[in-house]
């Protein structure tokens, strides 16, 4: 049984648990700010950084998909013979 949505699909470039662990280690995953691992961070800071990193990753993925669709459309358009040339 395929549980994937018909349109859009699932987009989770990284998991929440992985992000929180890496964030608290001070690695700054997904373009988030780096913190001092000895001080830690508040729950609201973690939530904000996770949502921002997820939004950035989603936007980057959507832009890549759009670019690929446009390139495919251009290549299909270039392959079609012109009726005026025949």
Beta carbons of 29 and 19 less than 8 angstroms apart? yes
How far apart are the C-alpha atoms of 84 and 86, rounded to whole Å? 6
pLDDT of residue 35: 93
Q: Of all residues in the chain, what percent carry a pLDDT higher than 90? A: 47
Spatial separation of the C-alpha atoms in residues 46 and 34, rounded to whole Å: 11
Residues 46-80 have pLDDT tens digits of 999 999 999 998 888 889 989 999 998 888 777 76
Q: Where are the domains of the chain?
A: 14-38
Residues 15-31: what's their mean pLDDT?
91
Q: Which residue stretches of 1-86 are H helix? A: 16-24, 43-79
């Amino acid at each position: 049984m395929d549980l994937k949505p018909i349109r859009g699909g699932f987009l989770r470039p990284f998991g929440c648990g992985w992000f929180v662990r890496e964030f608290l280690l001070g690695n700054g995953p997904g373009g988030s700010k780096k913190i001092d691992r000895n001080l830690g961070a508040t729950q609201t800071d973690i939530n904000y950084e996770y949502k921002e990193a997820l939004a950035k990753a989603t936007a980057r993925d959507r832009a890549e998909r759009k670019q690929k669709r446009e390139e495919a459309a251009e290549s299909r358009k270039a392959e079609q013979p012109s009726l005026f040339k025949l």
